[in-house]
Structure 1
Amino acid sequence: MTRTYDLLVLGAGPACHPAARRCREAGWSVAIIESGPLGGVCPHTGCNPKKVLMAAVEAVSAARHLAGKGLSGEPAVDWQALMAFKRGFTSPIDASIEKSYAQAGIDIIRGRGVFTGSNTIAVDATEYTGKKILIAVGARPRRFDFPGSDRLDTSDTFLDRDALPKCLAFIGGGFIAFELAHIAKFCGGKEVAIITHGDAFLRNFDQDAVSRLVDATRALGIDARLNAPVSSITQSPEGLRIEAPGASLTCDMAVNAAGRPAAIDDLDLEAAGVTHTKRGITVSPYLQTANPDIYAAGDCLDAPYALTPTADLESKTAGHNMLTGNTLPIDRRGTPSVLFTQPPLGMAGLTEAQCRARDIPYEKKEYDLADAFPWKRLGETVGYSKILTAPDTGRILGAHILGHDAEEIINAIALAMRNNLPAKALADAIWAYPTCGYYLRYMV
C-alpha cells in the first residue's frame, strides 16, 4: 500500500527543518525521509564539530601571538579530550531531533528515497506519495577516479578521529582544505600539506585577502601547493605516497577536501521530471523545480551559496511558497561567508574581480587591521579589509575582512547590505570602544 502525505521531504538537514515545521503547523501531514543522521552534515560532521575543534586552535593561536607580551608557555592540545568534548555536542543530536519531530507530529522514514514517478518516492520496498515534495538532500564528498583514490579519507572521518596523525595532506584548495589543515597544524600535526590542481586557492574569496591568508598559512608551516593535480595514491612502507607534478609526498592520512557536489546522482530525478545541471537542481526564484509539485532547497541546488544559513532561508522560502502558491521569491542579499582559519576570513557580496567582470562601477577602500589597536593588543600580525561601494549611492557592493573577529564584523556589514544601508551608516553608527566593530568607521 502507498501512503500519502501532504509533504514529503527528502533529507533531514538544515534545508528540511523550516519547511517541514511550517507546513506541519499549517495542518499538513509531513514525513521526512533520511538515510543518515537527522540534522544533516552541519551539526554532525561539518560546521559545528569543526568549530568546536577550532576553539582549541583559537586558544593556541592567541597564546602564540601574546608570547613575550605578558604570556609565556603555550597550551597543549589533548586531541582525545578535545574529541570527547566535540562528541558531547554531536552524539545527542539524532535522538533529540527525532524526539522533536515526533512531538510535532512529523513522521521519520529511515532509508534512501528514490523517485519512482512525478509524486512518488520509494524507500526500500515501500512507496510513498507526496502532494508536494521538498528535495533537501544536501551534498556529498567529491569522487575522484585516479588510481588509489579509494585510499582518501573524508572530512567526516578527520573530524571524528580518535588520534591525530602526524603527517596529513588535504586534497583541495577551498574551504574544507584550509580549515582542516589549520586545525591539524595547531592541534599537533607535524607535517601538513594542502594540494590543489588549480592555479589559485579559495577562488570565491577576494584574492588580495587570500594572498595574505596563504602567506600566513605557509608561515605556520603548512605546505600549500598549487598546480598539483594528484595522479595516484599508493601504499608504501612509510605511508601513503601521493604523486602529483612537483608535489609528491608521503603522509599518514590523505583527506578528500575538494568540495562537495549535490548528492542527487542516485535519486532518479528524471522519473520525477526534475531538471538539474552539474552544479545541482535547477529551481525558479520560488525554489520550484521543473515539476510544479516539487521544490528544492540547500546544498543540492544549482545556487550561489552552499551554506547552512542559506539552506535555512531557502527552506523557509520553499515552505512559504508551497503553502501560498509562489508569492515569495528567494532573497539572498547580504549573505556572509566565513572561512574559519587563523586568522579567519569573512566576505559578503561581490569581489573586485566580479565587479570588473560585470562592468559594475565601484570605489575601493583598503585598511590594515593589523596596525589598529583591537588587533595590535592581541599581538595579531595579519589583518586586512577591503570594502567596495557604489559611487552613486554609497551602498556596499562587497566586503572582505581578514583577521580576528572577521566573522562578527562581516555579520554587521552583511546586515547593512541586506537592508540597503550605505557604508556611511556604518561609519556614523555609535560603536562600543575599543572593539573591533568600532573600527568599521575606518574600514568603510
Structure 2
Amino acid sequence: MTSSYDLAIIGGGPACGPAARRCRQAGWSVAIFESGLLGGVCPHTGCNPKKVLMGPAEAVGMARHLAGKGLTGEPQPDWPAMAAFTRTFIDPVAPWLAEDYRKADIEVIHARAAFTGPNTLRAGNTDIAAKKILLAVGATHRRFDFPGVEHLATSDDFLALQKLPARLVFIGGGFVAFELAHLAAVCGARATILTHGDATLRRFDADAVARLVAATRAMGIAVHTNAPVTRIDKEAHGLCLSVPDLEIAADMVVNAAGRPPHIRGLALDLANVAAGPAGIRVNEFLQSITNPAVYAAGDCLDAPYALTPTADLESRVAAENMLTGNTTPINRTGTPSVLFTQPPLAMAGLTEADCQAQGIAYTKKEYDLSDAFPWQRLGEHPGYSKTLVSPDTDQILGAHILGHAADEIINVVALAMRQGLPAKALRDAIWAYPTCGYYLRYMF
C-alpha cells in the first residue's frame, strides 16, 4: 500500500501542530505519524503535569515562608489527590487533538515512520511519498550502561506516581533534576541530586545558580557534583547507588540527565539527512543542510533551545519556509527559559560568561530582591537579579532573575528584547505598585 502527501510530519508533539494546520490551510494534504500520544511530552509527561503537581507544593512553600507572620499550621500535600487532579489535565489532550486534526482534514497515522529514501517513508505496512517532510520527533531519555541500569526510572515514571516514595535520587544536574527534586522535597520526600560534572544548571548564570543551590540545600535536598553513578544494586529495603566515595540508599532513582534527540530508528542515512549528537542539522530556514525536502522543528533540532515555545515557533517558521521557498529565517531573540524550582530561576539572553567569552562589552547591575517589599511581604529568600546591558546602545543583552514571580517577570524582559526596546524603556515604564514587576525599574 502506498500513500502520497504534500507534507508528512513525523512526530505529533508541540513542533507538529502549527506546521500541520498552516500547510493544510494552504491547501496541502498533510499526514502526521505518531506512535505515542498526540501532543507529545509537554502535555502528557512534561511541562503540564509537572506544573499541576507544583501547585499544591507552591502553596505549601508559601505557607512555610509565612509561618509566624500571620499564618499558623501548615497545609499538607496529598500526593494521591494531586496525581488524580493532574490526570484531569492529561487525559483529555490526545482525544481533543485527534478530533481537532480530524476537523481540519489532517490525517493521523498511529505509527512510527522511518525513511526509505530522500522523499519516502515507511510506517507499518504503508509506503509514503511526500513532497516535504517535517521531523518533529522531539527528545528522549538519555541512555546509561552502568550495572543495574534496569533499576532506573524516568521522569515520566515520577510524574505518573500514585504514591510518593520516601527516598528519591535524581541523576542529572539540569532542569528536570532540580524541578522534580524540589517538588519531591516540599511534598515530604528525602531528595538527592547527583551530577557527574563539577557544576549544575550550566545554562543559567553562575551567580544565580550558586544562590539557588544554597537554597536547595537549605530545603534539605542533597546536591552532589563530581558524582557519577557507577552502579545500582537492588537490596532488601530498596536500592543502593554507588558513586565515588559514596553510597546512597533510595526507593526510586530517576534518570534526569538531559534529553538527547529522539532520532534513533529514523534511518536518516537513507534520506541523506545530516545529524549529530545534538540533533538534526538545519540552515536558518530550518531546512536540512543535506536534503532540501526535509525540515525539522522542536527538540530534535541541533539548536540553542529545547523548549515548548521554541518548538511552536520553529514549527510556524518551518511551515512558512516550506510554503514560500525559504523566505523566513528563524529568529529566537528574546527566548525566556524558566527553572520551576522554589523559588523559580528565569533567564533571557546571554549570561555574563557568554559576554566574556564572545568579547561583548556589557554593564552589569545586580539587585537583592529579598530586600524589596513584594518579596519581604512573603517572607521569601532568596531573591536576586542580574542584568546585562550594552553600554553603547542600551540594548538588553541578558537578564537573570531568581525569586517569586521570576517566571512571569522574565516574559516582560523577553518581550523588550524581542522588540528591540532599550533598557531605558523598562526603567521609564509606569508599573503597578506594589507588584514584583514594579521592581524592573530597579533591575536595569
- State the TM-score, normalizing by the size of structure 1: 0.99
Secondary structure of the corresponding residue to residue 228 of structure 2: coil
Match of 1:344 in 2: 344
Deviation sequence 1:69-119 (CA, Å, 0-9, x none): 000111111100000000000011111100000000000001111111111
CA contact (8 A) 1:363 1:388 kept: yes
Gaps of 5+ in 1: none
Deviation sequence 1:291-343 (CA, Å, 0-9, x none): 10110000000000000000000000000000000000000000000000000
CA contact (8 A) 1:12 1:33 kept: yes
Match of 2:372 in 1: 372
Match of 1:247 in 2: 246
Secondary structure of the corresponding residue to residue 442 of structure 2: helix
Gaps of 5+ in 2: none
Secondary structure of the corresponding residue to residue 315 of structure 1: helix
Secondary structure of the corresponding residue to residue 439 of structure 2: helix
Deviation sequence 1:182-207 (CA, Å, 0-9, x none): 11111121x21000001001000001
Matched, 1:164 2:189: no
CA contact (8 A) 1:225 1:247 kept: no
Match of 1:215 in 2: 214
Match of 1:269 in 2: 268
Match of 1:425 in 2: 425
Deviation sequence 1:267-309 (CA, Å, 0-9, x none): 0101111001110000000000021011000000000000000
Query: In 2, Cα distance between the equivalents of 1:343 and 1:280?
Result: 32
Secondary structure of the corresponding residue to residue 153 of structure 1: strand
Match of 1:20 in 2: 20
Query: In 2, Cα distance between the equivalents of 1:300 and 1:89?
Result: 25
Match of 1:295 in 2: 295
Matched, 1:141 2:141: yes
Secondary structure of the corresponding residue to residue 214 of structure 1: helix
**Superposed displacement of residue 247, structure 1:** 3.2
Query: In 2, Cα distance between the equivalents of 1:247 and 1:207?
Result: 26
Query: In 2, Cα distance between the equivalents of 1:255 and 1:306?
Result: 20
**Superposed displacement of residue 211, structure 1:** 0.4
Matched, 1:327 2:298: no
Query: In 2, Cα distance between the equivalents of 1:125 and 1:250?
Result: 47
Secondary structure of the corresponding residue to residue 118 of structure 2: coil
Identity, in percent, stands at 65
Matched, 1:119 2:126: no
Matched, 1:195 2:194: yes
Amino acid at match of 1:148: G
Amino acid at match of 1:17: G
Query: In 1, Cα distance between the equivalents of 2:149 and 2:269?
Result: 29
Query: In 2, Cα distance between the equivalents of 1:162 and 1:438?
Result: 41
Amino acid at match of 2:2: T
Amino acid at match of 1:382: P
Query: In 2, Cα distance between the equivalents of 1:247 and 1:373?
Result: 43
Match of 1:390 in 2: 390
Match of 1:204 in 2: 203
Query: In 1, Cα distance between the equivalents of 2:276 and 2:67?
Result: 51
Deviation sequence 1:355-383 (CA, Å, 0-9, x none): 10111111100000000001000111210
Structure 1 runs of 4+ with >6 Å offset: none
Secondary structure of the corresponding residue to residue 128 of structure 2: strand
Query: In 1, Cα distance between the equivalents of 2:140 and 2:31?
Result: 23
Match of 1:90 in 2: 90
Query: In 2, Cα distance between the equivalents of 1:70 and 1:234?
Result: 47
Matches within 5 A, 1:344-363: 344-363=344-363
Query: In 2, Cα distance between the equivalents of 1:147 and 1:352?
Result: 40
Secondary structure of the corresponding residue to residue 246 of structure 2: coil
Secondary structure of the corresponding residue to residue 70 of structure 1: coil
Match of 1:103 in 2: 103
Query: In 2, Cα distance between the equivalents of 1:381 and 1:209?
Result: 13
Match of 1:280 in 2: 279
**Superposed displacement of residue 57, structure 1:** 1.2
Amino acid at match of 1:178: F
Match of 2:406 in 1: 406
Query: In 2, Cα distance between the equivalents of 1:153 and 1:37?
Result: 20
Amino acid at match of 1:169: V
Secondary structure of the corresponding residue to residue 116 of structure 1: strand
Secondary structure of the corresponding residue to residue 341 of structure 2: coil
Matched, 1:32 2:32: yes
CA contact (8 A) 1:7 1:134 kept: yes
Match of 2:132 in 1: 132
Query: In 2, Cα distance between the equivalents of 1:224 and 1:248?
Result: 14
Query: In 1, Cα distance between the equivalents of 2:244 and 2:398?
Result: 36
RMSD of aligned Cα (Å): 0.6
Work out the number of aligned pairs and report it.
443
Match of 1:258 in 2: 257
